[in-house]
Amino acid sequence: MSAMAAARLGFRPHVFGPEADGPGMQVAAARTVAAYEDADALHRFAAAVDVVTFEFENVPAATLAALEGRVECRPGLKALSVCQDRLAEKRFLESVGVPVAPWRAVHSPTDLRAAIADLGLPAVLKTTRMGYDGRGQAVLRAPADAEAAFARLAPHPLVLEGFVPFTHELSAVAARGADGSMAVYEASENRHAGGILDVSLVPAGVPAAAAEEARRLVARVAEGLELVGVVALEMFLLPDGSLLANEIAPRPHNSGHWTIDACACSQFEQHVRAVAGLPLGPVSRHAAAVEMRNLIGPAGLAAWPGFVARGDAVCHWYGKEEAREGRKLGHVNLLRG
Ligand code: AMP
């Protein structure tokens, strides 16, 4: 989607990645199919492009480090490193005054017992690396759950988070330009199924003050990371109206896909604009409301023809090879008014 937004602005996106038929590869002007660790391929890639960005925060930090000495990388290593590691992420969020759920680092079963004693149960045990879409986490409801969860989740260390009794999940997306300018989209309300984003709604069905606070918090994250590009912040809304941050994504985010069809300038175009050093675009919404629905796994594949046949759905299909369970295959934006 970023490659398509770049092409629309007249750029020729060159995609680097390990999969020859990945969605980005299918729409790129140039491709390098290579492992992230392939130093020669990275060298040639750096020489062929003007600026580098990434859409996936599990690109190894060493890959970005290898590129950073040769070509401008936006965002840079700082944002990537913070967002690859839940412990670094929590420390960063606290350092910029963005509240998070109570947490403890867990290096051993002894740490886990102490953390449970501190935070109480239920609590959520998570990997600090490579966790997304609810993977790499376990809800602990009783002390007896602890040992098996510690053994199952890898790599270590882990992090234990207090269970957040949220009323809603929200996120907001901010773009920050190379000159420090900022554009922040409206917050969306996100509903998950099985730990995976299912639906995003805009406007969010939450008090206006909470939606505005969500925008302020993501802007603080973008500033604190000195990020050039787009960043999303996932948050929990508590019964008292306050927000806790859950996770940062230093890239366009699934919960911002509504912007493709409901805004003149999507999160992907903002990302390209920021990375290319162009002025940021508008963030205003031109539909009264929008509902973004993910198409996930075999059920998403089965639902696709029905959405394509509807007059009120703007349909996006990613061209992934297999409709595996839990895999995001596409999404639709349902525009109202
Ligand atoms: P994550 O992989 O951290 O984005 O978590 C995936 C989903 O699990 C979130 O969107 C929440 O629905 C739920 N979740 C994660 N952490 C917590 C928590 N500390 N308390 C309650 N629910 C959580």
Quick one: CA torsion of 201, 224, 64, 135, rounded to 10 degrees?
-40
The verdict on the CB of residue 192 being under 6 Å from ligand 1 is: yes
Mutate to test the pocket of ligand 1, among 84, 124, 189 (most ligand atoms within 8 A of CB): 124
Q: Is 53 in the pocket of ligand 1 (CB under 6 A)?
A: no
Residue 169 in contact with ligand 1 by CB distance below 6 A: yes
Residue spans per domain, the chain? 2-84, 102-162, 168-336
User: Would you tell me which CATH number, out of the four given (3.50.50.60, 3.40.1410.10, 3.30.1490.20, 3.40.50.10490), belongs to the domain 102-162?
Assistant: 3.30.1490.20
How far is Cα 42 from Cα 45, in angstroms, rounded to an integer?
Answer: 5
The dotted CATH code for 2-84 is 3.40.50.20
Residue pair 244/258 in contact by the 8 Å Cβ criterion: no
Question: 337 falls in which pLDDT band (50, 70, 90)?
Answer: confident
Amino acid of residue 38: D
What are the tens digits of pLDDT across the range 166-202? 999 999 999 999 999 999 999 999 999 998 999 999 9
In this prediction, residue 135 carries a pLDDT of 77
User: pLDDT per residue over 65-112, tens digit each?
Assistant: 999 999 999 999 999 999 999 999 999 999 999 999 999 999 999 999
89 lines ligand 1 (CB under 6 A): no
Q: Is 60 helix (H, G, I), strand (E, B) or coil?
A: coil
Predicted confidence at residue 130, as pLDDT, reads: 79
Domain 168-336 classification at class level? alpha beta
Which atom of ligand 1 has the smallest separation from the CA of 126?
3
